[in-house]
Structure 1
Amino acid sequence: MSESINILMYHQVGDFPPMKGHRSTYCHHKRFARQMAYLARFGYTVLSMDQVLACLRGERPIPHKAVALTFDDGYENFYEYAWPVLQKHGFPAMVYLISDLLGQPSSWFAADGRATPPLMSAARVRQLRGEGVDFGSHTASHIRLAEQDTARIREEIGRSKATLEDVLGEAVDHFCYPFGSHDRRAVDAVADAGFRSATTCVRAPATMADDPLTLPRKAISYGDNLLGYFWRLHMKNTPKHAFIRRPGETFDTSPA
């Protein structure tokens, strides 16, 4: 039995030209298809975030070669390119949504001179939820939480949860810190809002020793061929931060 779970972090999946910058926020759809086929062929168990949480709480065994698939921001290209592949293999997925930007362009890309691809609309979110996609919160407006005052942190997290629960008509239990930016205040706000898990951009496998509200993940990059994918699945990427024991510390570890 395995003692850890690789929570993988994707952003966009689509048809992208070669690039030099921001590679961790893109995955070419052909490579994504090969990566999912690799997981299926070599016996990986793909878990939902509910199942991840149950494993890390000791409520069920951690399967051998356990992974979870997460997608930040909620791009429309998930529907076109990623979801058909996931359906083919019967893999669950967690998509983290920015509640105030549903159906709008990913405007923060403009600061880097990049195109601003559309995010899923509320109608698309409801459609995909009906087809089995899981959704979580990525705040209301995609801000770096550790840089905000406490009132703004709590308002962003609480409003996002309420909005998404209204869109979906069900509880939204899972959260993701934009840019990996979090501190003690953000974690406390996530807990107080009622989220059961939250993911960061700290790069390591998740274990039962991790706080469910600061779970590590492994970013999958544009340039990852199958050899690189294998390496990411098996690397440890430790040490992890001891954030929960150092209240003044902040983390901001992702480019997007």
Structure 2
Amino acid sequence: MRTVGGINILMYHQVGEFARVANHRSTYCDHRRFATQMALLASGGYRVLSMDQALACLRGEAPISSRDVVLTFDDGYESFCRYVLPVLQRHGFPAMVYLIAGLLGRRAEWFARDGRETPMLLSAAEVRGLQREGIDFGSHSLSHLKLAHQDDATLRAEVGGSRRMLEDVLGTEVRHFCYPYGSHDLRTIDAVAQAGYATATTCMRAPARPGQDLLALPRKAISQGDNLLGFWWRLHVKNQPRRPLLARPYCGA
């Protein structure tokens, strides 16, 4: 029962109470299952790292244990305050929330394209409140576009503009990025590098290991249907990405 040579960066979206869905299951997690998953991490000897701590490990500046985990939450849903924060505080776990800088306090309108309800996103005031509680924040772009499909000007605005906007909201440096929909290519990664981010995460399924491009780190999506066995399976068995991980030829961890 060992993590295979790396850090499991877990990807969540909404946590709450939802009807069962057939599609987009990785964008929902029942709050009771989330609570039991976090209890398993707490009781099972796992070490939950902040993204900054994970970065130090991946750079070789700190050791990686066999059970290192990072908790990430995409989009920044308002339900985080009610369902996620109390559980994290109960166990003393850090977490990274990736915010869509241009949509704070608005609805996740892209859900409507699939006929789904459009949940509310955290407002700037809620983000600052969570920051005071110790929650970390990164950028999930300016407006949640598939970045690999955008022209260079749009890409710069989505990546660099979102960083500047969030730094104004938070009053601190924003060092971490997450590609919306996992959409990334080498041009996108270069834009993230030029914007000054230290890490960026994808939707590629694998542990994050030293030597990987820090701006194309893999993650493991937690699905609505994952019970504790499924959660354990993702931690310890689902270690092979569906295709090779991207890396800039000149990058170094």
* TM-score, structure 2 as length reference: 0.95
Residue 151 of structure 1 and its aligned partner are, at CA, apart by: 1.4
RMSD: 1.5
**Contact persistence 1:154–1:186 (CA under 8 A):** no
Q: Which residue of 2 aligns with 1:118?
A: 120
Distance 1:212 1:237 in 2: 18
Deviations 1:224-254 (A, max 9, x none): 000000000002124652422689xxxxxxx
Q: Which aligned pairs between 1:1-256 and structure 2 lie closer than 5 A?
A: 3-235=5-237, 236-238=239-241, 241-244=244-247
Deviations 1:122-143 (A, max 9, x none): 0000000011000000000000
Q: 1:143 to 1:239 in 2, by over 3 A?
A: closer
Secondary structure of 1:92's counterpart equals: coil
Deviations 1:66-124 (A, max 9, x none): 00000000000011101100110000000000000000000000000000000000000
Distance 2:173 2:196 in 1: 10
**Contact persistence 1:135–1:172 (CA under 8 A):** yes
**Contact persistence 1:204–1:240 (CA under 8 A):** no
- Can you give the 5+ residue segments of structure 1 that lack an aligned partner in the other structure? 248-256
Distance 1:116 1:246 in 2: 40
- Aligned AA (2:240): N
Q: 1:161 to 1:81 in 2, by over 3 A?
A: same
- Matched residues, percent identical? 63
Distance 1:243 1:157 in 2: 18
How many residue pairs align between the two structures? Answer: 247
Residue 209 of structure 1 and its aligned partner are, at CA, apart by: 2.2
